[in-house]
Amino acid sequence: MTNRAPLSILELSPFGEGSTAAQGLRDTIALAQTAERLGYRRFWLAEHHLNPGVAGAAPHVLLAAIAAATEHIRIGTAATIIGNYAALQVVEAAGVVAALHPGRFDLGIGRSGSTSHPAPPVAPSPAEARLVDGLLLPAARPFAFDSARFAAQARLLRRTAGDADRFEQDVHDILAFIAGTYTAPEGVPIHATPAEGQDIQVWLHGSTAGISAELAGRLGLPFGANFHVAGSFVLDAVEAYRRAFRPGAIAEPHVIVSADVLVAETAADAERIGRGYAEWVHSIRAGQGAIAYPHPDDAIVAPYPADLVEVVGDRLDTRFVGDAESVVERLDTLQRVTGADELLLTTITHDPEDRARSFALLAEAWGVDARRPLEAALVR
């Protein structure tokens, strides 16, 4: 395929059985250095709280360490869960890193929480998987969170009923803080030092054709579409964004699409290394939070029990696992069908060296250019 999209990395700071959260954080910093050396465009952190096997709970803090350990790769969040903070807190945290490491910060914003009014109608979950021009769009799988644990997390993060209603206003406020145009309702001009005037690129991320996709388009911001977790709706989300797009921060629509990948020298090696993924995803969807990634020798192997597939089958079906050639072929299809301008890749394994090796093999097979100048990574 010609004109392959640039590749970027989405990192959760996972760690395997027998390892520690501290080691998971150190592994993340090392992976960022590897990503920069290989020529990946961006290194973004997710935000996950109260997960026994994921250390990525404070992305803005970790980004400061990553920025100090790298030189030019763009860094950021995918996504900062805006409901967990005040807009000013987000801007100030991003501003500190951006001021110390100018021209490299991508602030990705995601929406979560509850609304006090019905959401706009979204297409119902497809009952069966679909194949669209070679791309599998899985049937959405039902799963239930542990309501008591979910309530405890919401309380600890000071989430409140209807807090998602603030999403659009928070985005407007963040943009105004960065631009230096914010005025408080009391009529007082507010200047968010050190974020004001910094070259922070704001992205919105979404999983459906909902408010995030529509708002990103309406404000002329780049958009992140979630295939690896919510593949059922990725085409709807991208189409809603492009339909709503008006020139703003950028002149034309720009989409990055996520994918879960694992590459090894052979397909058999990749399948072996990837064992444990079904249990890992199930732990998230069952409500206990992501467990420490199982060792391949201790993990269950396919064929999986029917009750497990019922919960995690969509993630198993859309994880691209194999040798470099086969994974590249599937990523080519993902780019072609979604029209992605960039691809955002996440890889979870027990051994961090397997993750680094996966990204190295993929970069070589994809044709990633490690000499690409920093300026080429900025969406304009």
pLDDT of residue 363: 98
The tally of CA atoms less than 13 A away on the side-chain side of residue 87 is 22
**For the chain, what are the domain ranges?**
7-115+128-377
| Class in CATH terms, 7-115+128-377 | alpha beta
Q: Does pLDDT of 70 surpass 80?
A: yes
What's the pLDDT band for 150 if we cut at 50, 70, 90? Answer: confident
Q: How confident is the model at residue 305 (pLDDT cuts 50, 70, 90)?
A: very high
Model pLDDT, residue 125: 53
C-alpha–C-alpha distance, residues 85 and 295, integer Å: 35
At residue 126 the predicted structure's pLDDT band, cuts being 50, 70 and 90, is: low
Determine the pLDDT at residue 2.
Answer: 61
Q: State yes or no: pLDDT of 298 exceeds 90.
A: yes
The larger pLDDT score, comparing residue 99 to residue 118, is at 99
Beta strands of the chain (E only): which ranges? 7-11, 42-45, 74-81, 105-110, 130-132, 135-137, 200-206, 223-225, 255-263, 319-322, 342-346
Listed in order, strand segments (DSSP E) in 183-247 are 200-206, 223-225
Counting residues of the chain whose pLDDT is more than 70, the rounded percentage is 93
pLDDT digits (tens, 9 = 90+) for 187-199: 999 999 999 999 9
Q: What is the mean pLDDT of residues 348-367?
A: 98
Residue 380 clears pLDDT 90, i.e. is over it: no
CA distance 136 to 227: 10
The stretch 166-194 carries a mean pLDDT of 97
